[in-house]
Structures are given as structure tokens and as C-alpha cells.
Chains A and B, each alone.
Chain A
Amino acid sequence: MKNIKMSAIVMLLLAVSFTNAQEKGKMNHNHDKMMNMKSEAILSDYFSLKDALVADDSKKAAEAGSKLAASLKAFDKSNYTAGEQKELTDIIEDATEHAEHIAKSEIGHQREHFKTLSKDITDMVAMTGTKNTLYEQFCPMYDKGSAWLSTKEEVRNPYYGSKMLKCGKVQKTIQ
């Protein structure tokens, strides 16, 4: 009787530690996925900002700007090397400032900030990578030439909107 009790307890302990270990594994897995998702969240907010500027919609751009500022702040750098972390901190700090300004300015200003922001996001993607194919596009007319990122190959200009919707070309494909 005692033996049965003992082995029951041992079995129980084993079962508990086993499920525990599994849980931990699952959590790690989730963690990895979360990190990727965080840079994807930044990109998705960046693209809604870009689309709002293409549509000349300052209000939507402002909303996307504050969402972007929040997702930039939530970015988790812990998976990167010390050198990369330093670079990413720098990029994110700069990008956050531009996103915050976009959240509170009129469309002309929003577009000015979008230019530097696009450079920051492009540099970030070069380090984090992304699951989608992106197109770096370039308009030679806006502020002595300005670039931006898009998920589609066809050009829709965020710096001029309806005024010059198709001005620009694809200068690089990012995979």
C-alpha cells in the first residue's frame, strides 16, 4: 500500500515537471514569434501611415503616426548582439521622434518627417529582415530626391499624393 502511494506521488511529480517543461518550451517559442511580430507591427503601422499620405489624409496619417510611435517603443531588441542593439536603439529613438511629430502636425510637415522616418525604417529592416517582399521606391522631385518603402511594386507617391500619384520608380527590391 505504501509502495503504491509512493509510486503514485513520484508519477505525479514527474507528470508535473514534464508539463512544466513543455509549458516553458512553448513560452520560448511564443517569445521568438513575438519578437518577429514586433518588427512586423512597426512595418504594418509604417505602411498605414504611407497609405494615408498617398491618400492625402492628414488625420489618418496622424493616427498611424501615434500607433507607429507605440509599436516602435514596444520593439524588443534582446535577441540582437550588443552592436546591433546600439544601432537599433539609435534608429528607434530617431524614428519615434518623427512618428510623434507626424501624430501632431499638418500634412506638409508629416511628409517632411516621413522622409527621415523612411530612412530609419529602411535601416531597421536591413537588420531585422521581414517576411514580405518590400520595394524601396524613389521620387527624384521631393526635397532633392526622397525614398520610401512599399509592399506593392506599383508606385503610389506618399510625398505628393494625388498631385503626382505615380511619380517615382522602384530602386530596390528587399526580400
Chain B
Amino acid sequence: MKIVKIIAIILLVAFVGIQFVPVNRNQSEGVPKTDFMLVNDVPNDIKNKLQVSCYDCHSNNTKYPWYNKVQPVAWFLEEHIKEGKAELNFNEWDALSSRRKVSKLRSMIKQIESGEMPLGSYTFIHKDAKFSEEETQQLVEYIENLKDSL
């Protein structure tokens, strides 16, 4: 019994302790001129959908709910954001060449159509990030058109 108590105390101390480890939050001032929404003519509903479902991990600004500020959840999240931004950063869209844009748009379509994006672990918490069938269709159609216009 004593051992259980000691372990519990150690875990609690560790849990409190890691809250003091500083993290770099994915947050920045303003939206750069290269942003996807600024350089493309994006209809409002699609703009909204992208912001809610994609921008948390694919831009320089994440909206952090309180539980994402608690460790170790925050670490797990930072990893995802880092990976997400490496694949695609909407804020830096216009810095890409046409070839790269077409390539990224094609991958977006595949990821959305197959339901791989947004990630299940993300929509599990962010219910509003999920795409309905209709939204998927709308979004894919928009991206297809954009791809063909490049």
C-alpha cells in the first residue's frame, strides 16, 4: 500500500513538474501575404471550412483549447503541428512554384477523398472539423478547379 502511495506521489510530482517545461507554441502575429486565402479567390464557406479543419496544423497559427496546454498532450500536439506544417503550410502557399502547388493540391484531394485528413485524432475532439459528404465534394471540386487553373 505504501509503495502505491509513493508511486502516486512521484507521478503527481512528475505531472506537475512537466507543466513547467517551456514549449514553443505555434502562434504568430498577422497573416503573411503568401497565405492561401489571400492569393486565391476562396468562397466563404470553403474559407471557413479550411480555417476550422486545416489551419490548426497547416499554418503558423494554432487555436489552442485549454487541454492542449496541458502536458504531455501539448507535446503530442506540437509533433503533429510540426509534421503538418512541413507537409503543407497554407500561410506560405504563394512561395511555392506552380509545379509544387499542383503537387500539393493533388495530395490534398487524395487525402480528403480518402478521409485521411483531417486526422481522426483531431476530429475526435474537434467535432466541427469533420467534413460531411457534401462538404468533401464541394472542397474537392474547388481544389480540382484551382489545380486545373494553374
A residues in contact (CB < 8 Å) with B: 90-91, 93-94, 97-98, 112, 115-116, 120
Contact = CB atoms under 8 A, between A and B. Distances in A.
Chain A's interface: helix, strand, loop or mixed, by majority? helix
A97 B106 CA distance: 13
Nearest to A97: B103
B97 A90 contact: yes
Chain B interface residue number, banded:
under 10
B110 A112 contact: yes
B99 interface: yes
Chain B's interface: helix, strand, loop or mixed, by majority? helix
B110 A98 contact: no
A116 B99 CA distance: 10
A98 B103 contact: yes
B100 A93 contact: yes
User: Which 6 pairs between the two chains have the least Cβ-Cβ distance?
Assistant: A90-B97, A116-B103, A94-B103, A94-B99, A90-B99, A112-B110
Interface in B94-123: 97, 99-100, 102-103, 106-107, 110
Contacts, number: 18
Nearest to A113: B107
18 contacts: A90-B97, A90-B99, A90-B100, A91-B99, A93-B100, A94-B99, A94-B100, A94-B103, A97-B103, A98-B103, A112-B106, A112-B107, A112-B110, A115-B106, A116-B102, A116-B103, A116-B106, A120-B99
Nearest to A116: B103
A116 B108 CA distance: 13
Nearest to A98: B103
A90 B99 CA distance: 7
A116 B109 CA distance: 13
A118 B110 CA distance: 17
Contacts of A94: 99-100, 103
Contacts of B110: 112
A115 B107 CA distance: 11
Interface in B7-34: none
Contacts of A91: 99
Contacts of A115: 106
B113 to A, nearest CB: 10
Nearest to B116: A109
